Chains A and B, each alone.
Chain A
Amino acid sequence: QVQLVESGGGVVQPGRSLRLSCATSGFSFSTHAMHWVRQAPGKGLEWVAIISYDGGNEFYADSLKGRFTISRDNSKNTLHLQMDSLRPEDTAVYFCARSWEPVVVPVFDYWGQGTLVTVSS
């Protein structure tokens, strides 16, 4: 079955960096675009970034451009999110999600359980 498992979260000081990973299994990773979505404590969902199936294209939420970098390793079926210059407002649970395109707007059809990132001094 499809599985997505995030890791790499933790407590980090403002201005520092953190790298999240999402290990996947149970599907052909190299044929799906992938997303990161985050959820601040007690708040709603916020889309973060998408990377194409081959890593050739990346798009980010406008508010995050320049600080976050999404990447993937298709040989290891793993997705990454490099987060730099972290701010307290980046505190959230970060989910990876598989992209599925049965219609024009991609669907997030499978999600990981999330990893908590806390930015605090």
Chain B
Amino acid sequence: SVLTQPPSVSGAPGQRVTISCTGSSSNIGAGYDVHWYQQLPGAAPKLLIYGNINRPSGVPDRFSGSKSGTSASLAITGLQAEDEADYYCQSYDSSQTGSYVFGTGTKVIVL
């Protein structure tokens, strides 16, 4: 994948964790929006953040997104046991025709 995420991050309940999504000048750095998805074990992905910073209705405000330069980040505050899941960023890459790209994925572990 052209978007790189850390394989895992961990935190105790109540703590704050952040997940980075590092791209390049042909995707995030080109100004393309970044979206974030949560995938619980055995389930389909679920939209968490769209357009870098926006939360769909129903997503708790514990989840927030940001973007700067060639990177984006997802922050989870007040970590809860139910947040243990895989998280993926997604954007568009102009170096390939019609190519929507996902990050490598990050496993959030609640200690």
Contacts and interface: CB of A to CB of B under 8 A. Distances in A.
A11 B100 CA distance: 28
Contacts of B105: 44-45
B65 interface: no
Interface in A98-121: 100, 102-114
A102 B51 contact: yes
Given A44-B103, A59-B97, A102-B51, A108 B91 contact: no
A44 B88 contact: yes
Interface string B43-57: 111110011001010
Interface in A28-85: 35, 37, 44-47, 50, 59-62
A62 B45 contact: no
A105 B99 contact: no
Interface residues of B, number: 30
Contact of A112 (B39, B44, B102, B103): B44
A35 B50 contact: no
A119 to B, nearest CB: 21
A50 B98 contact: yes
Nearest to B5: A44
Contacts of B46: 111
Nearest to B56: A109
Contacts of B91: 105
Interface string B85-101: 00010111000111111
A62 B96 contact: yes
B104 interface: yes
A109 B102 contact: no
Contact of A105 (B1, B43, B92): B92
A109 B51 CA distance: 12
Interface of A: 35, 37, 44-47, 50, 59-62, 95, 100, 102-114
6 contacts: A45-B88, A95-B45, A102-B54, A103-B50, A111-B44, A114-B44
Interface of B: 1, 32-35, 37, 39, 43-47, 50-51, 54, 56, 88, 90-92, 96-105
